[in-house]
Structure formats: structure tokens, C-alpha cells
Amino acid sequence: MSITIKDVEHVANLARLDLSEAEKEQFAGQLNAILKYAEKLNQLDTDGIEPTSHVLPLANVMRDDEVRDSWPVEKVLRNAPEEEDGQFRVPAVLE
Amino acid sequence: MSVFDLRLSELHNRLQNKQLSVTELVEHSFKRIAETDGEIGAFLTLNEEGARKEAQALDARLAEGGERGLLFGVPAGVKDNIVTESLRTTCGSKFLDNHDPIYDATVVSKLRSAQSVTIGKLNMDEFAMGGSNENSAYRAVRNPWNLERVPGGSSGGSAASVAAGQVYFSLGSDTGGSIRQPAAYCGVVGLKPTYGLVSRFGLVAFASSLDQIGPITKNVEDSAYVLQAIAGHDHRDSTSANVDVPDYLSALTGDVKGLRIGVPKEYIGQGVDPQVKERVLEALKVFESLGATWEEISLPHTEYAVATYYLLASSEASSNLARFDGVRYGVRADNPANLLDLYRRSRSEGFGPEVKRRIMLGTYALSSGYYDAYYKKAQQVRTLIKRDFDQAFEQYDLIIGPTAPTTAFKLGEQVNDPLTMYLNDICTIPVSLAGVPAISVPCGLAEGLPVGLQIIGKPFDESTVLRAAHAFESQAGFRDLRPALS
């Protein structure tokens, strides 16, 4: 199975990336090579093998429900490309 | 001889006895950077004003007398994916070109408590994606041993700055080898701790199940000191392990008698440069002479590790890097037509090619219809890789091999061939997937370039890793190898 330009466009849309025609060509080729290499994993029978998402025996890490200060608004907005009235400004979501 | 070649204990004594001031150390750092960094390119941002002020404050405290910690006044560099409050942090990306963090990473707070002085922020592959530092959006870093060669990556600035004597030590981060491989290429000591030993709070996430911060130093003793300062549980990182941190210094006994070492045949087989293999075999003779024993073993799933890693790390990256959307920080595209256009154009303008490639790969592996075939399959193979290590550690105390299959390659040599570039990490990636600790320590030169010996330990057994590395270093005589950089 091989990645077409159409597949690249679909994945770029999911990833919220705009790619140039040259990038699409290049990524199609490179992703094909990488995924072809990754097919070697199919040599292994993994039926019944538990997936490892991380190596620590940790689940549902809890902390005490204590009231703590949150960041001051001016600090949080310090790197905002655009802000207004103490909030991040973005283009209209609903048109 | 540079003042940075002094042992930490000696440096400390000179500070305590007022033969040396923190200001002199900090000025030495900036002078060395001014002399060498035009060629090396290790630093992205210098903390000149902040470091000088800090040095003055520390000198005032020295004048008051009293005992100080060993890292007191010691100049350090910090990889630029570790956030530093009010000190520009770019992750080597144009996306965060003007990013001014509002807090310190936990490791930075800890270095501050130890009263080490942050000299500046170190160059890296963009978002830590790369093994040569050529993926920095700013400039490629050059290897102090040979300016035509890469320093390795992604912590290339961190390794090169220590090798070039610009800082006393540095912090790097390691996802698939990004501390160990550049340490090997630059002839310095790089430690990747057990996953969870060092807090990731304030480390800009690449692959959260693999990322780990660690020290890059000139010798093993310094590595133990820095690890001591940065290790420990942190409630702000939910993957931080709640374990007791032992005294790493007391582990440096020089005694490795009776240690059982496994040497994976997969790490010294095909694709490994014969001279690199030769240096590793010589290192094993040193261990024999010290009373340790070694045998060849097999980690049978090694050949699957690189494919597993690139699927898992890219999947995690595609999710983690979704936060760079042009809303809260970083690049925002001009005059967006709507919110979707804002996301798409900001990301496309802000990210470099390797970052886009990995986001694409990860998004594909996680997408509907391919999740089981790629992402889940890779997670299952990760289990098999981890079992290789679990089984080996039932019989052996340590696993030893090369850190990288070759020495530093030339700039430009592999940059257009991502797959070949990925295969440089064949000896470090399995270790990352298993989450176990490993150190790279210099074991000689091959054609004038440093070779790194990788010493891998059981989970949370940094003490044995450091003990073996220290004993080797003391016996083998490569501790004071320095590049002939003018």
C-alpha cells in the first residue's frame, strides 16, 4: 500500500497544515519510505501482547484538592499574538 | 588550562577560599562564548544581564562566609526546550522566536536552588526532532572536535558547549538518544535518567512517554552532582516517579568487581563502524581488568526499535504539537480568513520541514483506519522490546555497547535522507523505549573523533550506571580528552 498525494492532503488537513505542491510530493515519497520500513513490525506476532503506553506502573495520579493561586491574567497573556479585554483574540468562530 | 577544567571540588574550594569569584567564572563563560561561538553556534540566547546580576548576588553571599553547595556559582547552559522565566525559549523553532516564558521548569528552579548560574539557552534540533542539529531553525551547530562535523542531536548545543569549554555543564533532553548521542559525538558525558526520575514540568513536550531531562558534563562525577540536584518527585508532573533519590556520589567507589555485564550482539553487529566496535571491546577489557565479567547476549527485538520509535514518538508529537495553533503564543499568520485558516497558516509558517514530516507521520499513524496497524502495533512491539531488557537484567547488572554506530558524520551528509538519519539512533532508541537509564562516556577516538560507550542500567539504578562509568573513566584515561579548539 502506498501513500498518494490525496492521502497526504487528507492527513495535512487533519494536522492543520497547509502544504505546498512541492512539500506534498516530498512528503508522499518520504512517508512511503518510512512506512515501508515500519512494515517490518508485521514480521512479529503480537496477538495477545499488551500495548505499552509508558513504562511506569502509574495510573490515575491524584493530588489533594487544595485551593491554589492560578496565573495572573497579564502573565498568561504575555505571549499572546493578539489580546483584548484580558482574553486571547481570535477570528470569529461562527460566521 | 581553563578554569572549567578544574574538578568541581577544586573549583568549589577556590570559591570558598576567595581565590576565585562567581563573577570571574561567569565572565570566563561569556569570554569563551565570544571567542568560539561564532564557529560552534551552541547558543541561541545569552543571559548576560541576568547571569551577571546573579553572580554579583552570589559573590555578596560568599563574602558573608559559610558553606555552600558544590554547584554554587557554577555556570551552566540549558537546552532551549526547557523553559526559563523571562529568558527567551525557542525550542530551536521560528514558531517560538519571541517566546518569553512565564515560569521556570522544575529543573531550572532546582538549579537555581543549588545556586548554579544560567549562562544562556542552547541550540537544538527544532522541537528536539533530529540527530544532527541541522534541523535547528536558527543555525546548525558545529562539532568542536571538527567543524565540518555535526555535534549530534537533538541536544547538540548542550554537548558542544561543554566540549568547547563555554559552560561547566549543561542540561539536555533525551527522547530517543538526544543526550547520549551528542555527548558521544562531542566526547563528553551524557546521562539519560530512568523515565520519571527527573521532572518534565517545563520541558516542552515532544513525545511525553519518552522525554527525559539529564546532565551533560565533562566527567562522571559532575554528572552525579548534577543528577543529584535535579532528580526527585514533582507533583506538577503526573509522570514523575515517587521514589527516594539515593546519594549518587557515594556510589562512585571505583569498585566494579563482580559486576555482570551483558553486551548485546545486535549493538556491535552489522552497521557498526569497525573502529567504534574496537573501542568498545577495549573498554570491555578495562572492565575485565577491574574484576567485572562480560558476555555476549541478545536483545532480539532490537531491529524493530527504530520503526517502533518513529511511529510512537511521531504520534505523540503530532498530538503534543497541536497546541501550537497561533492563539496563545508564537507565530500568528497575518489576516486570517477564519479560525481554521489561522491554525493552518500559523502552523505552516512556523514549523520547519522535519517537524512537519513527523506531525504528518504521527497524524497518519493515529488516523482512522491505521491506528491498529501502526500505533497500537508499535505499542505492542514496545512491550516486546521492554521485555528484552527485563529478561537481560535478570542475569546482568548492566548492558554495555556503543552509544552510536559511528562517530560524528559530516554536515549535510544525511540531511536529505530522514530514514538513514533515524538509523543513527539504533543503539539509543531501544533504551528509551524500555525507559531505563543509560550514560554515554568517552572511550577513546576513532580517526580523531570521539567514541561513546553506552552503559545501560536497571530502572532507577543510576547508582550502578554511574559507578561503572566512573570506574571505567578513572581507569581508561579519556576523562581529560579535549578538542584542540583554539
Buried b (16+ CB within 10 A) or exposed e, B450-484: bbbbbbbbbbbbbbbbbbbbbbbbbebebbeebbe
Distance CA B8, CA B11 (A): 5
Per-residue model confidence (pLDDT) at position B311: 97
Q: Judge whether B185 and B407 are in contact, CB under 8 Å.
A: yes
Set of cell numbers at residue B214: 539529564
Per DSSP bridges, beta strands B260-264 and B398-402 are parallel
Question: Is pLDDT above 90 for B419?
Answer: no
Q: For residue range B4-38, list pLDDT tens digits in order.
A: 999 999 999 999 999 999 999 999 999 999 999 99
Question: Residue B416's closest chain A neighbor by CA?
Answer: A30
Set of cell numbers at residue A1: 500500500
Question: Is pLDDT above 90 for B136?
Answer: yes
Q: Judge whether B339 and B232 are in contact, CB under 8 Å.
A: no
B376 touches chain A (CB under 8 A): yes
Question: Is pLDDT above 70 for B325?
Answer: yes
Per-residue model confidence (pLDDT) at position B417: 77
Question: Is pLDDT above 90 for B192?
Answer: yes
Per-residue model confidence (pLDDT) at position A62: 87
User: Phi and psi of B3, rounded to 5°?
Assistant: -60, -25
Mean pLDDT to the nearest integer, B306-327: 97
Set of cell numbers at residue B307: 520503526
How would residue A56 be classed by pLDDT, with cut points 50, 70 and 90?
confident
Q: For residue range B353-362, list pLDDT tens digits in order.
A: 999 999 999 9
Write out the E strands in B393-477: 398-402, 438-446, 449-456
Q: How many CB atoms lie within 10 A of CB B314?
A: 27
Out of B178, B199, B314, B318, pick the active-site residue. B178
Per-residue model confidence (pLDDT) at position B47: 98
Best probe of the A interface among B311, B364, B431, by most A CBs < 10 A, is B364
Side chain identity, residue B485: L
Give percent of chain A with pLDDT exceeding 70. 98
Q: How far apart are the CA of A25 and the nearest CA of chain B, in angstroms?
A: 12
Considering Cα of A84, then A86, then A88, then A91, what sign does the dihedral take?
Answer: negative
Total residues belonging to chain A: 95
In chain B, residues with a C-beta closer than 8 Å to the C-beta of A12 are 360
A70 touches chain B (CB under 8 A): no
Per-residue model confidence (pLDDT) at position B66: 83
Q: What is the ipTM of this complex?
A: 0.95
Question: Is pLDDT above 90 for B60?
Answer: yes
Q: For residue range B381-415, list pLDDT tens digits in order.
A: 999 999 999 999 999 999 999 999 999 999 998 87
Total residues belonging to chain B: 486
Mean pLDDT to the nearest integer, A7-33: 96
Distance CA B163, CA B32 (A): 12
Q: Which of residues 3-32 of A touch B (CB under 8 A)?
A: 3, 7-8, 10-12, 14-19, 23, 27, 30-31
Distance CA B347, CA B195 (A): 30
**Is A18 close to B384, i.e. CB distance below 8 A?**
no
Question: Is pLDDT above 80 for B421?
Answer: no
Q: Judge whether B194 and B230 are in contact, CB under 8 Å.
A: no
Distance CA B207, CA B178 (A): 12
Which position has the grid cell 490525496? A6
Question: Is pLDDT above 90 for B484?
Answer: no
Per-residue model confidence (pLDDT) at position B480: 83
Q: CA-based diameter of chain B, in Å?
A: 70
Best probe of the B interface among A26, A90, A93, A95, by most B CBs < 10 A, is A90
Distance CA B186, CA B157 (A): 10
**Is B377 close to A46, i.e. CB distance below 8 A?**
yes
Cα separations (Å) of B420 from A31, B130, B159, B179, B425? 13, 12, 22, 19, 10
Which position has the grid cell 559559610? B66
Cβ-Cβ contacts under 8 Å for B149 (sequence gap 6 or more): B142, B143, B185, B407, B408, B409, B410, B411, B449
HSE toward the beta carbon, residue B127, CA cutoff 13 A: 27
Mean pLDDT to the nearest integer, B434-462: 98
Q: What is the rounded average pLDDT for all residues in chain B?
A: 96
Per DSSP bridges, beta strands B117-122 and B169-174 are unpaired
Q: For residue range B87-117, list pLDDT tens digits in order.
A: 999 999 999 999 999 999 999 999 999 999 9
Question: Residue A79's closest chain B neighbor by CA?
Answer: B329
Q: For residue range A68-80, list pLDDT tens digits in order.
A: 999 999 999 999 9
Question: Residue B434's closest chain A neighbor by CA?
Answer: A55
Distance CA B9, CA A25 (A): 57
A68 touches chain B (CB under 8 A): no
Least CB-CB distance to A44: which of B241, B304, B325? B304
Q: Is B209 a catalytic residue?
A: no
Q: For residue range A32-44, list pLDDT tens digits in order.
A: 999 999 999 999 9
How would residue A1 be classed by pLDDT, with cut points 50, 70 and 90?
low
Per-residue model confidence (pLDDT) at position B486: 58
Out of B29, B93, B136, B154, pick the active-site residue. B154
> How remote is the C-alpha of B156 from its chain's centroid?
8
Mean pLDDT to the nearest integer, B238-250: 96
Q: How many CB atoms lie within 10 A of CB A69?
A: 5
DSSP assignments along chain A, one per residue = ----HHHHHHHHHHTT----HHHHHHHHHHHHHHHHHHGGGGGS--TTPPPPS-SS---S------------HHHHTTT-SSEETTEE----S--
Distance CA B8, CA B466 (A): 16
Set of cell numbers at residue A59: 495510573
Per-residue model confidence (pLDDT) at position A16: 98
Instruction: Indicate the pTM of the whole model.
Output: 0.97
Per-residue model confidence (pLDDT) at position B135: 96
